[in-house]
Chain A
C-alpha cells in the first residue's frame, strides 16, 4: 500500500479542484437550501385575508336564477343569495342575460331535487354546479330532519362523534418513514451514478492520455486503484454531505412553517437502527459499485468508450432502485427480501425495507456478509483488471473478456 496516501490525496485534490465539481456542488447546495426553505418563502407572498372582501363576494351577483314555482323560490332564495337583481322570470330571459354577458352563469331550479346550470363559456375551475348541488342536498337534509323531529345540533353531535383510538407501532411505521427513506435513497442513487461514471472516466482517461504507463511504472496497481476509488468515494460523500447539510440548514430555518404531517414523516425514520443500516449499506454498496465502475474503466482505452462499457452496470443499479421503489408497497414480498440480501441491490433495498418493516436478524446478517464479501472480491478483481488493462492498450475488451483472459495472462507471467 506504498503511495496509497499520496495517490489518494492527489486524486482527491484533482477531483475537488475541478471548477465543474465546485460549481455543481454550489448549485445543488443552493437548490437544496432553497427547496427546504420553500414553506417559509411561500409565507412572504401570502396576503392577509380581508374580511370585508370575503363578505362582498356573497351573494354571487354574476349568477342569475329562475325558479319553476314560488315555493321553490321561498325554499332556496335565502340559501342561494337571490335578490330582485339576479332573479329572472324564465329561461329565455336568463339566456339573454348570459349572451349579453350581464351574467357569468345561471341556474334554473325545476324542483327541490333537480336544477340546471347554464354558462355562456365554462371556465376550467367553474364549480357552480357543485355548489348548487350542495345547497339542494343541505336543504333536503334539513327538511328531512325537521320531519323526523331531529334538530340540526343533535345531528351535528352524532356526525362529529370522535372515538379515541391510539396507535402503537412496535416495529417500523411505513406511513411516517416513507418520505425521508425516499429522499435518502435518491441521494445515494444520484451519488453512485455520478461518481461511478467519474471513476470509470478517470481511469479510461489515464489510458487514453497514456499517463497510465508512467503511473504503473511508478506505483503498485493496488495502491493506484485503491487510491483512486477512495478519492472518488470521499469526493462523492463530501459533495453529498454539503448538499445534505444545506438541505438541513434550510429545513431548520423553516421548520416552524412546515405542515405537521410533514414534520411527523421526517421525524419518524431517524431511529438509530435505521441510521446505522442506511449508513452501512449505502457506504459499503457505494464503494463496491465504485470498484465495479473502476474495473469497467480499465477495460477501455478511450474516454468515449466509457459510456457503453458502464451501461450494463447502470442497468443493474437501476434494477436495485426499482426494487427499492417496489419495496415501498410490499416490503415483505419475496422480491423485496431477495433484493435486500442480493449485494448489488441491497444498498438501496435494505435501508428502504428497514424503514418499512423490522428485518429478521438472519436476513440482515446474510445481507451484511454478502455485501462485505462482494466488496472485497470486487476490490481484488478491480486491481487485477486494472493491471490487466495496462497490458491491453488499444481495443475495448469488456469485463467478461477481461475476466476470461486474466488467468491466461497470469499463467504466462508465472
Chain B
C-alpha cells in the first residue's frame, strides 16, 4: 500500500500555509512527519483526513484518489477530544462502528484496547471520571480500533508520561510489524528516531527532505568525521586542523568537532596528522548525524 501526497496547497484567508507539499508513505514502515510548531504538519494531516479541504493537490492511495471514509483509517488528532460524559466502552464501539466495523468486531476491538491499556475496570464509566493520563490512553486506543490499515497520529507523544510513551511505542511497533501504513507527526526528534523508518521534514509549508532515515543519516554524514580530544577545547582542535587542512569545513556539534573533508582530504591524512600532534584522542570516526542535527542543518540551509 502506498499513500502519495501530491502538491497540496492550503491557505487560510490570504495566507498560504502549505506551498505544494508532496511526499510518499508505504505500508510496513512508520513515517515521521517532522517540523517545528506551525510548520504545517497538522494542516497537512487535517487535509489528508478531510477535516480541512486543500485548495489544490491530491492524495492518492495505490494510485487512486484517497477518501478517508472509504478506508480503514485510525486517527489521533493533535487536539484530542472524546465525549466526556459518555461511557468509555460505548463511545469506543461507536467510533469503531463509524469506521465500518460490525457491532461484534467493534466491541471486541474496543475491549482489547481497553485491556491493553489496563483500563478494564473503567470501561463502563464516563470518560470524565478518568485521570488526564488515562483519558489520553483511551484517546490513543480509539486510533487503534478496528485494526486500521492506515494509522495517522498527530503529535501522539505530547503530554504522555515516560511509561505511557513506552506502551505507545510498543503499540506502534506492533502495527508496523503487521505491515500497516503509519504516519506520525512530531516535533520531538528522539521519539521519531526511535520509532520511524522514514522521515519527512516540513518547514514553513515546504518539504525540506523526505526519505529513508538511515540513508539520510548516511548521506548527511558522508565525508564527515567526528573528532574530540581530551585536554583541548573543540576550538583549539579546530584551529590546529584548519591550519593544516584549510580546505576542511569545521562544525561544532554537541561536544565534538565535525570535519567535512569535501573529498579533498582522506581519513588517513587526518589520522597521521593527529598522531603527529600526540593528542589524547577521545573520539575519532565516521560522523552519523542525529535526526536533530539533520533537522537543524536543513532548516538552517533553508533560511
Chain A contacts to B: CB under 8 angstroms: 2-3, 6-7, 10, 14, 18, 209-220, 390-391, 393, 409, 412-413
B129 at the interface (CB under 8 A from A): no
Q: Contacts A6-B94, A218-B69: A211 and B82 contacting too (C-beta < 8 A)? A: yes
A residues less than 8 Å from B54 (CB atoms)? 413
- Whether the Cβ atoms of B83 and A211 lie closer than 8 Å is yes
**In-complex Cβ contact of B79 among A14, A213, A219 (8 A):** A213
A residues less than 8 Å from B80 (CB atoms)? 210
A residues less than 8 Å from B75 (CB atoms)? 214, 217-218
- Whether the Cβ atoms of B50 and A217 lie closer than 8 Å is yes
B residues less than 8 Å from A409 (CB atoms)? 53
Minimal Cβ-Cβ distance residue in A for B81:
A210
B177 at the interface (CB under 8 A from A): no
Q: Contacts A214-B142, A217-B68, A218-B69: A6 and B97 contacting too (C-beta < 8 A)? A: yes
**In-complex Cβ contact of B55 among A214, A216, A220, A413 (8 A):** A413
A residues less than 8 Å from B49 (CB atoms)? 213, 217
CA distance A43 to B49 in the complex (A): 68
B residues less than 8 Å from A14 (CB atoms)? 83, 86
- Whether the Cβ atoms of B51 and A10 lie closer than 8 Å is no
Minimal Cβ-Cβ distance residue in B for A207:
B81
Chain B contacts to A: CB under 8 angstroms: 11, 46, 49-55, 68-69, 73, 75, 77, 79-86, 90, 94-95, 97-99, 142
CA distance A209 to B86 in the complex (A): 13
Minimal Cβ-Cβ distance residue in B for A223:
B98
CA distance A393 to B77 in the complex (A): 14
**In-complex Cβ contact of B99 among A10, A218, A391 (8 A):** A218
Name which of A2, A18, A209, A391 has the most chain B CB atoms within 10 A of its CB: A209
- Whether the Cβ atoms of A220 and B69 lie closer than 8 Å is yes
A residues less than 8 Å from B55 (CB atoms)? 412-413
CA distance A216 to B73 in the complex (A): 13
- Whether the Cβ atoms of A214 and B82 lie closer than 8 Å is yes
CA distance A18 to B69 in the complex (A): 30
Minimal Cβ-Cβ distance residue in B for A392:
B12
- Whether the Cβ atoms of A391 and B98 lie closer than 8 Å is no
A residues less than 8 Å from B99 (CB atoms)? 218
Q: Contacts A6-B98, A218-B95: A413 and B81 contacting too (C-beta < 8 A)? A: no
Apart from A3-B97, A213-B79, A393-B79: 15 A-B pairs, beta carbons within 8 A: A6-B97, A10-B90, A10-B94, A209-B81, A209-B82, A210-B80, A213-B77, A214-B77, A215-B98, A216-B51, A217-B73, A217-B77, A218-B95, A218-B98, A218-B99
A residues less than 8 Å from B68 (CB atoms)? 217
Minimal Cβ-Cβ distance residue in B for A9:
B94
CA distance A219 to B52 in the complex (A): 14
Q: Contacts A10-B94, A216-B50, A218-B95: A210 and B77 contacting too (C-beta < 8 A)? A: yes
Name which of B77, B80, B81, B95 has the most chain A CB atoms within 10 A of its CB: B81
B residues less than 8 Å from A219 (CB atoms)? 69, 98
Secondary structure call for the B interface: loop
B residues less than 8 Å from A211 (CB atoms)? 81-83
Q: How far is the CB of A20 from chain B (nearest CB, A)?
A: 10
9 contacts between A and B (CB under 8 A): A6-B97, A209-B82, A213-B51, A214-B81, A217-B50, A217-B75, A217-B77, A391-B53, A393-B79
Minimal Cβ-Cβ distance residue in A for B76:
A214
- Whether the Cβ atoms of B53 and A210 lie closer than 8 Å is no
Minimal Cβ-Cβ distance residue in A for B97:
A6
CA distance A150 to B94 in the complex (A): 91
CA distance A393 to B84 in the complex (A): 19
Q: Contacts A209-B83, A218-B99, A220-B69: A412 and B51 contacting too (C-beta < 8 A)? A: no
Q: How far is the CB of A21 from chain B (nearest CB, A)?
A: 12
Q: Contacts A216-B50, A217-B50: A209 and B98 contacting too (C-beta < 8 A)? A: no
- Whether the Cβ atoms of A214 and B95 lie closer than 8 Å is yes
Minimal Cβ-Cβ distance residue in B for A408:
B13
Minimal Cβ-Cβ distance residue in A for B79:
A210
CA distance A213 to B82 in the complex (A): 10
**In-complex Cβ contact of A209 among B11, B73, B84, B95 (8 A):** B84
CA distance A215 to B97 in the complex (A): 11
- Whether the Cβ atoms of B81 and A217 lie closer than 8 Å is no
- Whether the Cβ atoms of A412 and B11 lie closer than 8 Å is yes
CA distance A7 to B73 in the complex (A): 19
CA distance A77 to B97 in the complex (A): 93
Shortest Cβ-Cβ A-B pairs, 6 listed: A210-B81, A413-B53, A218-B98, A209-B81, A217-B49, A210-B79
CA distance A336 to B84 in the complex (A): 46
A residues less than 8 Å from B11 (CB atoms)? 412
A residues less than 8 Å from B94 (CB atoms)? 6, 10
CA distance A210 to B83 in the complex (A): 9
CA distance A235 to B61 in the complex (A): 41
Minimal Cβ-Cβ distance residue in B for A13:
B90
- Whether the Cβ atoms of B52 and A391 lie closer than 8 Å is yes
Q: How far is the CB of B59 from chain A (nearest CB, A)?
A: 13
Minimal Cβ-Cβ distance residue in A for B98:
A218
CA distance A14 to B82 in the complex (A): 13
B residues less than 8 Å from A413 (CB atoms)? 53-55
B residues less than 8 Å from A215 (CB atoms)? 98
CA distance A215 to B86 in the complex (A): 15
CA distance A391 to B52 in the complex (A): 6
Name which of A213, A217, A220, A413 has the most chain B CB atoms within 10 A of its CB: A217
Q: How far is the CB of A260 from chain B (nearest CB, A)?
A: 50
Minimal Cβ-Cβ distance residue in B for A3:
B98
A residues less than 8 Å from B73 (CB atoms)? 217
Q: How far is the CB of A208 from chain B (nearest CB, A)?
A: 8
Minimal Cβ-Cβ distance residue in B for A220:
B69
Minimal Cβ-Cβ distance residue in A for B56:
A412
CA distance A214 to B141 in the complex (A): 13
